[in-house]
């Protein structure tokens, strides 16, 4: 049961759970990618609709810059299985009690001789999949996706409402407030947006049968066997200005590429430091 709960760390982990087939896993990731795309498209549609509602505002405060933006997305799915086996034995040899004589009375002290034996084995297996894709807002506005079908979602973790629309609408609303942010005429007041959603799910268990006999004690401290499984879903979205290449296809500007790369590097460093053992 513990192995099923925590997972086995001596083989390459399954990304979701042991009951899923490769086909199930593929469909699960396909649904997740579509869900992210749908949520992003819904956010862009809502932002454009919000801009139209503010048609009375001065042209320099409008969010026409949305049509010139796009988003780079990185989806990191990882699972980490850990197993540890650490039996401990103590061999006891009882000795006769020692009696110390004092003027006020005798004091009896129990005596024994013991030898401790221990063994430790552990295994740690990690599997990580990273998926990256890019959409221009113009493509999302023209896509056949129906934004009204994207929310609300009742799924768990990344399958839930990702609240991308809340984030984007907040940025657009701030940009429409006179004097809130500086800007050049006809351009976006922002260079990039970064949005991240991360779910970490940990399951685990342990088993420790213990014995205490006259000449032997076993597993009196710590766990005999422990297993854990850490599943991480990490979504990073970087939004910024795009340009059209010679073929007329939208591609991200260098500033968008650089910011997205910096976000991923920072995320990787933070995850590495988080996983280091304490000194």
Q: Each residue of 210-253: pLDDT tens digit?
A: 888 878 888 777 788 999 988 889 999 999 999 888 777 889 88
Q: Check residues 129 and 15 and name the one with the higher pLDDT.
A: 129
Site of tokens 């593929």:
26
Ramachandran angles phi, psi of 98, nearest 5°: -95, 135
Helix (H) or strand (E) run with residue 52 in it: helix 22-53
What is the spatial distance between Cα 83 and Cα 3, in angstroms, rounded to a whole number? 8
Q: Where are the domains of the chain?
A: 2-87+119-274
Are the C-beta atoms of 208 and 224 separated by less than 8 Å? yes
**89 and 116 in contact (C-beta within 8 Å)?**
yes
Write out pLDDT tens, residues 182-218: 766 667 788 899 999 999 888 888 888 888 887 888 8
Per-residue model confidence (pLDDT) at position 155: 65
Kindly tell me the burial class for residue 44, based on how many C-beta atoms sit within 10 Å of its own C-beta (0-12, 13-18, 19 or more): buried
Give the contacts of 37 (CB within 8 A, at least 6 positions apart): 135, 140, 145
Type and span of the H or E element at 271: helix 254-274
pLDDT for 278 beyond 50:
no
Average model confidence (pLDDT) for the chain?
83
Q: Over 80: is that where the pLDDT of 15 sits? A: no
- pLDDT score, position 19: 66
The DSSP secondary-structure symbol of 179 reads: T
Identify the weakest region by mean pLDDT among 46-55, 68-77, 150-159: 150-159
Q: How many whole angstroms from its chain centre is CA 276? A: 17
């Amino acid at each position: 049961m513990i192995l099923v709960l925590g997972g086995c760390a001596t083989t390459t982990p399954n990304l979701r759970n042991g009951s899923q087939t490769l086909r199930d896993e593929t469909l699960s990731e396909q649904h997740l990618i579509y869900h992210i795309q749908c949520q992003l498209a819904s956010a862009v549609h809502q932002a454009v609709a919000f801009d139209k509602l503010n048609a009375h505002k001065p042209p320099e405060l409008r969010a026409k810059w949305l049509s010139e933006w796009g988003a780079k997305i990185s989806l990191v799915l990882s699972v980490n299985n850990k197993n540890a086996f650490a039996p401990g034995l103590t061999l006891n040899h009882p000795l006769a009690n020692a009696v110390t004589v004092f003027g006020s009375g005798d004091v009896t002290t129990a005596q024994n001789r013991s030898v401790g034996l221990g063994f430790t084995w552990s295994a740690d297996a990690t599997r990580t999949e990273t998926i990256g894709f890019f959409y221009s807002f113009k493509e999302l506005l023209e896509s056949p996706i129906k934004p009204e079908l994207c929310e609300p979602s009742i799924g768990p973790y990344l399958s839930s409402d990702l609240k991308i629309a809340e984030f984007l609408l907040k940025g657009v609303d701030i940009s429409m407030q006179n004097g809130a942010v500086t800007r050049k005429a006809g351009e976006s007041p922002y260079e990039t947006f970064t949005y991240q959603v991360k779910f970490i799910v940990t399951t685990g268990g342990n088993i420790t049968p213990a014995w205490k006999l006259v000449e032997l004690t076993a597993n009196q401290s710590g766990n005999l066997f422990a297993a854990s499984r850490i599943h991480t879903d990490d979504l990073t979205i970087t939004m910024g200005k795009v340009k059209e290449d010679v073929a007329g296809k939208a591609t991200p500007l260098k500033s968008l590429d650089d910011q997205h790369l910096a976000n991923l590097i920072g995320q990787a460093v933070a995850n590495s430091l988080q996983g280091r053992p304490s000194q």
